[in-house]
Amino acid sequence: MTDNPWIKKEPTTLPDGRVTHGPHPKQQQFLLHAHTREVFYGGAGGGGKSQSLWYGALQFVDVPGYAALILRRTYADLSKPGALMDRARTYLAGTGAVWNERDKRWSFPSGASITFGYLQNEGDKYQYASAEFQYIAFDELTHFSETQYTFLFTRLRKTRGQLEGVPLRMRGASNPGAAGHFWVKNRFVDPKTRAAKRVFIPATMDDNPSLDRDGYRESLSNTDALTRAKIEQGDWDAVEGGRFRREWFGRWRRDPHGPDFVLAWPGAGIEEEPERFQWRGRPIFQTCDPAASATTAADYFVLSTWLLSPKGRLLWWDCERGKFELPEQVSLCQRSYARHKPQFVCVEEVLNQRGLAQLLRRSTSPAMVVRGVSPNGKKKLEHALGAIVLASDGRLLLPDDSPLFPLEDVVAELTRFTGDNAQDANDDCVDCVAYACSDALPLLGPPQGGRAPGMYLPKALR
């Protein structure tokens, strides 16, 4: 790798004005795995993923007969300005390599070639059925299906002779997310499911000195929490596709024509008129998932306030979320209880997290009705079942416009919740809504009209 004249060490100006300075340490690590069959380079945006695939393709272009293939999912992805095919034109300018526009192929003086292609539809993989490559790279691998990826192994071969010293390499690079997230994570990222012969090289924007990292982080600060976790941190757990779906959640907001009234829209695509009702006097309660400490390794403290509509919809009225020491958790609970005046607060009491409930029971300003709750041995997914069913019924509503409510953090956690402790980074908001459905709703008295309290529960749990 170090003596390959085609992998430039000097700065190169790309079409979008950025300057690349040659392989950075993580990219060099990627290239040093030349004799590893499968390597995946992935994680955060700006980590130099596409450029790493390009360097990998160049490694053996001095060998006659060598052929490489670089794939994107669509031709539009392949051909847009600043994409890898466009960058290659600047990179190879004046080198003696020749571009064939019809075949989207670079031919090198040795007779080697690098071809750009795409697999927009599942059947497009068969266009390569008679081809032979020694290097195949998938740029943004999570945009491809697993069957597209595995089929291309049938094209990874070589003839004996002049290609004897050329390794067969399958390469991928991607951010988390997109349709192929889970199969890519299972194949390369998760050490429990990754085969020993496969290599995962995680990379972040800090591994790419060519990038204006401060400017990129400022741009990402305008996105939602889920997107930031995927792109800025390369978090493979920050992905929708868990047990809750974003489209399930309804919305509520204060009626601007009557601030004592609420307009509530059911979720899950339910076609109904907004429910309008006077919120004062409606059942209101709280649930709290304490945190052992404020250290970065600890779980979040979450205190949620809930309001029940006349039609049995559960409105997430307020939410405090953060990392706080126990005295501050007590103060937050007291202030919130005094502000919202709930009928009671359910506080998780498990293992070393009994202290908050005990201290709140001693509170006199205000005096608080505290109910201790626990999962009672249920697994995470089982405990969350009531909340999942309630949300899938379109009856779990989030605020439409509440500047202090950590809306994106709540939605991000819910939509990536799988119920698997090994996969879920945080589940404190999930615990709060689980306690609201499994413990708090049954504690409410009969609604007007004498109907049973069970009408508040999701149908599957009545």
pLDDT digits (tens, 9 = 90+) for 409-461: 898 889 888 887 766 777 899 999 999 999 999 988 655 443 333 444 444 44
Contact 166, 66 (CB under 8 A): yes
Beta-bridge partners for 316: 306
Three-state DSSP at 452 gives coil
What pLDDT band is residue 12 in, cutting at 50, 70 and 90? Answer: low
Strands 396-399 and 250-254: parallel
pLDDT at 232: 67
Residues forming CATH 3.30.420.240 domain(s) in the chain: 246-461
Residue 257 carries which DSSP code? Answer: T
| pTM tops 0.85, yes or no | no
pLDDT at 297: 54
Q: Is the pLDDT of residue 362 over 60?
A: yes
Contact 138, 156 (CB under 8 A): no
Is domain 246-461 annotated with CATH 3.40.50.2300? Answer: no
Per-residue pLDDT tens digits for 50-75? 889 999 999 999 999 999 999 999 99
- Quick one: average pLDDT of 125-129? 92
- Tell me how far apart the alpha carbons of residues 462 and 442 are, in angstroms, rounded to a whole number: 10
Residue 458 CA: distances (Å) to CA of 97, 169, 246, 331, 389: 66, 52, 18, 33, 6
Beta-bridge partners for 253: 263
Rounding to the nearest 10 degrees, give the CA dihedral for residues 207, 235, 138, 48: -20
pLDDT at 82: 82
C-alpha 332 chain-centroid distance: 30
Rg (the chain; Cα; Å) = 28
Per-residue pLDDT tens digits for 92-115? 988 999 999 999 999 999 999 999
Per-residue pLDDT tens digits for 168-202? 999 999 988 777 887 898 899 988 899 999 999 99
- Quick one: average pLDDT of 303-315? 95
Strands 314-322 and 301-308: antiparallel
Contact 51, 27 (CB under 8 A): yes
Superfamily of domain 12-231: P-loop containing nucleotide triphosphate hydrolases (3.40.50.300)
Residue 265 carries which DSSP code? Answer: E
Quickly count: other Cβ atoms within 10 Å of residue 143's Cβ: 23
* Strand-by-strand arrangement of the 169-174 sheet: 98-100, 105-107, 113-118, 67-72, 135-139, 169-174, 38-43, 198-203
Q: Degrees (nearest 5) of the Cα angle 256, 259, 265?
A: 65
Of 2-11, 142-151, 172-181, 313-322, the poorest mean pLDDT is in 2-11
- Tell me how far apart the alpha carbons of residues 440 and 286 are, in angstroms, rounded to a whole number: 8
pLDDT at 460: 41
The separation between the first and the last C-alpha atoms of the chain, rounded to the nearest angstrom, is: 66
**Closest-CA residue to 393 (of 247, 241, 284):** 247
Contact 377, 194 (CB under 8 A): no
- 300: its two tokens: 């979040």
What pLDDT band is residue 119 in, cutting at 50, 70 and 90? Answer: very high
Contact 56, 171 (CB under 8 A): yes
**Closest-CA residue to 193 (of 146, 154, 239, 240):** 146
- Quick one: average pLDDT of 303-317? 95
pLDDT at 218: 73
- 234: its two tokens: 């390369």
251 or 257, which is more confident: 251
Residue 371 CA: distances (Å) to CA of 50, 184, 265, 440: 54, 43, 30, 9
Long-range contacts of 193-197 (CB under 8 A, 24+ apart): 197/36, 197/37, 197/38
Contact 131, 148 (CB under 8 A): no
366 prior amide bond cis, ω within 30:
yes
Residue 365 carries which DSSP code? Answer: T
pLDDT at 7: 85
Per-residue pLDDT tens digits for 141-151? 988 989 999 99
C-alpha 301 chain-centroid distance: 21
Of 41-45, 140-144, 341-345, the poorest mean pLDDT is in 41-45
Per-residue pLDDT tens digits for 206-227? 766 666 667 756 766 666 666 6
- Quick one: average pLDDT of 264-270? 81
pLDDT at 417: 87
Q: Is the pLDDT of residue 349 over 80?
A: yes
- Strands (E) located in 144-217: 169-174, 198-203
What values do phi and psi take at 355, rounded to 5? Answer: -60, -40
**Closest-CA residue to 430 (of 374, 382, 387):** 387
Where do we find the tokens 């359910």? 346
Q: Degrees (nearest 5) of the Cα angle 80, 81, 85?
A: 75
Query: How confident is the prediction for the chain on average, in pLDDT?
Result: 85
C-alpha 194 chain-centroid distance: 19
Q: Degrees (nearest 5) of the Cα angle 140, 143, 144?
A: 105
- 100: its two tokens: 């064939």
- The dihedral region occupied by 270, where left means phi > 0, alpha psi between -120 and 50, and beta the remainder, is beta
What pLDDT band is residue 281 in, cutting at 50, 70 and 90? Answer: very high
Residues forming CATH 3.40.50.300 domain(s) in the chain: 12-231
Where do we find the tokens 């004062």? 280
